[in-house]
A and B are shown apart, each in its own frame.
Chain A
Amino acid sequence: MDARSSDSRTQAPARPVLEGPDIARMLTRIAHEIVERAKGADDVVLLGIPTRGVFLARRLAAKLEEITGRAIPVGSLDITMYRDDLRLGPARTLARTEIPTDGIEGRLVLLVDDVLFSGRTIRAALDALGDIGRPRAVQLAVLVDRGHRELPIRADYVGKNLPTSLREAVKVQLTEEDGRDAVLLGLRSAPSRPGSDAASSAAEQTVPADER
């Protein structure tokens, strides 16, 4: 890819497209949409995809609790073992899978992630979910949808649709992990293959389609 040889080595400063209050507003809106669509969110279970999806799921659960007055079960779903590019890099360290005690059987599972890009993470999450139980339905909530889907997957709840080029990188920062809330858009840094240090430095969607 041309981008790798020309622009990829340039460290362009990332520009914030969303700040903390925007993110909070979007999560509030998504929470209301969930309650409306799930008719009260009675049987909703939130599962965040590590790392930042888990923090977003917890924030969403708190907002849902504010709206409905009920505690909403929240957990995390690690998809590492289910990735289709597992063998393209060094073995990756695992993150935590935490399923709420009542399980997901017959429930409406809401997967939560920070950025929706190729759709491969969500495909892996659906496979992982299948090994844990059989939900009534599965829906997807993401903070940012940056496009460039490689699989027929779409989100049910989107914080912001962010049209991007493949040469760009979307970086989500959350207070729990990064000390502040923001969504940054910049050019890709040095090309990285999955598993390299550069790729793991943050929730950075830096991997071009041909490398995945």
Chain B
Amino acid sequence: MKRHLISAADLTRDDAVLILDTAEEMARVADRPIKKLPALRGRTVCNLFFEDSTRTRISFEAAEKRLSADVINFAAKGSSVSKGESLKDTAQTLEAMGVDAVVIRHSASGAPYRLATSGWIDAPVINAGDGTHQHPTQALLDAFTMRRRLVGPDAGLGQDLAGKRITLVGDVLHSRVARSNVALLHTLGAEVTLVAPPTLVPVGVETWPCEVSYDLDSVLPKSDAVMMLRVQRERMNAAFFPTEREYSRRYGLDGDRMARMPEHAIVMHPGPMVRGMEITAEVADSDRCTVVEQVANGVSIRMAVLYLLLGGNEPALTNPRTEEK
């Protein structure tokens, strides 16, 4: 594995499977009376959040605490960043404090890459979402959820998602989740189809390892998992579709559409859901919808990533485990 986790595209198939397998073990910790492991005792992890996020930050914080790391939470709002401090200055401050890893969320695509490669800081950098670029731990938790549901938790160990057909629906243009998922799912052997209004399909999508369709109804019957994406109004600077109602009619998932999916197929959403537009309450609350499961799996995946990057003196190697008495 690489020293940093910046993009889901950086992961090899073996790295990704190692993370998923490790997360499977981490998930078992949640069932114990003491939900804590000593692996990162004495290590300090800084959650550097330049963009608002509750779900991801809490998920990382829970993962770090379950691994016994010391956690520093940094929110840009109300910090020196709002007084004009640069990313470089913030990074150097953290370096001087001896932080062992940085989890960064930033509205600018590429900020985590800059932090990891500029030499400002020596610690491993984990991308917790940068602009419209990448959100690798989200893609990993999605793949983990798919593997658990479509292959099985124990049967899934060591397995990838070869042959599974995954459909991503909605605002692909602004979605880092879609970009990360396409890369990772392709690495894991799945066939990915993007379904979106033509205005929300990014330029250059033909170079992505996936199919593109504008017709949700024709794709649903052959999907093993359908992932609805959030329509990101905060990133929209133009009219990408006429009305919410029209979007909902063509690209929203309701009970009728869900009935057209194969019986084993699952519905996913990275959250937060906009009920009534992307997904109806009926679908969101059904047994086939894995939104809550995805949140729980997020903690296990982040524990796995933190452990594999920080647990030893260098990131995990994809080789058999060592034995020593």
Contact = CB atoms under 8 A, between A and B. Distances in A.
Whether A associates with B in a native complex is: yes
Interface of A: 50-52, 78, 80-83, 85-97, 113, 115-121, 127, 131-133, 194-197, 199-205, 207, 212
Contact of A90 (B37, B316, B324, B325): B316
A95 B28 CA distance: 12
Contacts of B315: 90-91
19 contacts: A51-B321, A78-B25, A81-B38, A82-B38, A83-B324, A85-B324, A86-B311, A87-B311, A88-B313, A90-B315, A91-B309, A92-B322, A115-B325, A131-B34, A133-B33, A196-B322, A200-B319, A200-B322, A203-B323
Given A118-B325, A200-B322, A86 B33 contact: no
B32 A91 contact: no
Given A81-B38, A81-B39, A93-B320, A86 B325 contact: no
B321 A86 contact: no
Interface string B286-325: 0000000000000000000001111111111111111111
Interface residues of B, number: 31
A121 B324 contact: yes
Contact of B25 (A97, A131, A195): A97
Interface in B1-58: 18, 21-22, 25, 28, 32-34, 36-39
Given A86-B39, A131-B34, A131-B36, A94 B322 contact: no
B32 A89 contact: no
Nearest to B39: A81
Given A94-B22, A199-B324, 4 more contacts: A81-B38, A89-B314, A90-B316, A95-B25
Nearest to A84: B38
Counting chain B CB atoms within 10 Å of each CB, the highest count among A92, A204, A212 belongs to A92
B32 A199 contact: no
Contacts of B34: 131-132
Contacts of B308: 91
Nearest to B68: A81
A113 B325 CA distance: 9
Contacts of B28: 97
Contacts of B25: 78, 94-97
A207 B18 CA distance: 25
3 cross-chain pairs, A with B, having the tightest CB-CB distances, nearest first: A117-B325, A91-B311, A91-B312
A117 B324 CA distance: 9
A131 B18 CA distance: 24
A207 B324 CA distance: 7
Given A200-B322, A212-B324, A93 B311 contact: no
A113 to B, nearest CB: 7
